[in-house]
Structure 1
């Protein structure tokens, strides 16, 4: 079997197994043992396939500005459209010390057991397989679609409601942008941080006009239009920044030559 096809299908298999375990045993096992199990499964598959760190996007020369700060800055940009609606922090009705502990637990959960696992699986492994098999543009779209569908198991019901639409549309656009970054810059460390922090902020953030946003047609239109615009801007910016860096590198080589 073609190596790219083997990698892509193996990653898809991990996603199917992981989602099945999540749906069937989450309440019985809990997210920590389940997260460790899924990370271990992913590790075994990566080792079996012989995919190295650099191929996963975790090795090679690291540029702090491009590979870490850029995706984090764009992650923060993706929340700009919410700010006019009034935002605050969810204290969960607990004292400050307890709230800080809750924040720490959530941060570890989203960075390690969500972002680390999903970015290595989708952008590191699956997208790399699709690139070798079908090419980079196909890899971006296919990986984003499967990433979106993977969220069906997260509080999703097959009902024609806006929340169900949003649970697929939100990760679809995020997946496209993350995959564009992976395609153009070849690294995923910054994506892991951006993904984990994004989920963390989303969990602890409160929105004053949440009822309008989620409960009215106008709110739905604003939510979709604003989020789409921001994510389209990010994807476009990643492409242009990569092109600019490529031109600069080419000129530097020509000057040296």
Structure 2
């Protein structure tokens, strides 16, 4: 097996096992453990348990690799191999809390520092336990939903583009994001917002959206999903020549991305974002 294929096999196996654990805890009933950036930004006991499971399983399989997880950023480890696993144990926690079937486990292996501006994503897996979907990708080897190859939608006119986005947990920022949305709504087919960034990126890869954009994503929010989208043919980027990161993430068929980026950037400026 090639090295990236081995990493992908590990990500997929652990991702599926972690998804089973998350689904079991959801069936038992979800309890909020704490709030993070705001009262609306919650973490459940299941988030923590699933991350501990993933971290332990990865350490058993790849003891020399680093680890960066959403629920343990204060104990991230660098490792000695030059690879880091970037993990969101339950992406879409509010959906998970309410029983909305749009949450996921996201696991990616990246080469270099765990910084989206400089890393090279090698393998990624995104699992939605609620519907049994497993999205995977490895560098230069394509993206898949199960065993089905994924491809972004062909180019569409902006007026026919279905565009997804997400919102901050901070009320003041959400108000500004709503102004951006108001400026974009009249220029596209429609807007979708499901509240799970990794799934948004995978849905671009699967042709369920034409484009997705968001500001404020953390590395674990998009590490695996961005690779899936890129391997399906999407342009995944930040503003200008910058890589997708917290400042801005856009994923779309390349011609549509080139059309959308300046429009969204202008709307961001007008809204004070």
TM over 0.5: no
TM-score range, shorter chain: 0.3 to 0.5
Q: TM-score, normalised by structure 1?
A: 0.33
Structure with a larger share of its residues in helix? 1
Structure with a larger share of its residues in strand? 2
Rg comparison, structure with higher value: 1
Q: TM-score, normalised by structure 2?
A: 0.31
